[in-house]
């Protein structure tokens, strides 16, 4: 599996790096199913929040966003409703802000506390599940309370320079590994992009035994 495997050894076989942005509805769709899949195969999920727009630009994707193309956004809403119905997930419409920097950074604190899966699930429920504003102090405070965290400590962390540096470092590593969008799942050098590619990831995990 290339240089990454030689550097890190066999541990890549039990770790799935999940690149996501809480602005992405397709990462919303992928997140719970991915966590369940990892559990079935004895893998861990390494939650890697990144800025989706920045990732696209770094990869040379300078086209208009989906929300700027009316026919595409109409189809997108229908598609998301279909997928959410299939997965039994709530769908509250487009979140009220595109600014997901702070809520993304919160996933790093959750990772440190061994609560990344719970955090990402709750954050997606509050945003794409309920249509909330991912950058509002009110939503972030409510999210902290749901996880039994101190709200002031949480807000302090997501706005801290140290956390921002950590967030930027994850992004830089993602670009080096060829990440161009979300959701992207990586096991070593093997990549899958999109909620609809999870079946291929599962086939890969099954083949590894």
Which residues are catalytic, by number?
Answer: 24
Please give the full DSSP string across the chain, using - where no structure is assigned.
--HHHHHHGGGGGGEEEEEE-TT-HHHHHHHHHHHHHHHHTT-EEEEEE--HHHHHHHTT--SPPGGG-HHHHHHHHHHHHHHHHHHT-----S-S-S--HHHHHHHHHHHHTT-HHHHHHHHHHHTTTT---TT-HHHHHHHHHHTT--HHHHHHHHT-HHHHHHHHHHHHHHHHTT--SSSEEEETTEEEESGGGHHHHHHHHHHH-
| 8 Å CB contact between 138 and 151 | no
């Amino acid at each position: 599996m290339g240089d990454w495997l030689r550097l890190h050894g066999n541990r890549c076989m039990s770790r799935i790096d999940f690149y996501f942005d809480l602005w992405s509805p397709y990462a919303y769709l992928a997140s719970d199913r991915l966590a369940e899949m990892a559990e079935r195969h004895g893998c861990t999920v390494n939650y890697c929040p990144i800025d989706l727009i920045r990732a696209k630009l770094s990869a040379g994707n300078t086209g208009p966003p989906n929300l700027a193309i009316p026919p595409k956004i109409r189809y997108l809403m229908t598609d998301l409703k279909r997928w959410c119905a299939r997965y039994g997930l709530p769908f509250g419409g487009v979140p009220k802000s595109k600014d997901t920097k702070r809520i993304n950074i919160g996933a790093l604190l959750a990772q440190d506390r061994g609560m990344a899966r719970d955090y990402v699930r709750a954050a997606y429920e509050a945003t794409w599940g309920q249509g909330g504003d991912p950058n509002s102090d009110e939503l972030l405070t409510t999210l902290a309370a749901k996880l039994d965290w101190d709200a002031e400590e949480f807000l302090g962390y997501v706005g801290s320079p140290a956390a921002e540096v950590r967030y930027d470092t994850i992004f830089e590593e993602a670009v080096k590994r060829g990440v161009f969008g979300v959701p992207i799942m990586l096991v070593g050098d093997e990549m899958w992009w999109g909620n609809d590619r999870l079946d291929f990831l599962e086939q890969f995990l099954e083949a590894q035994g």
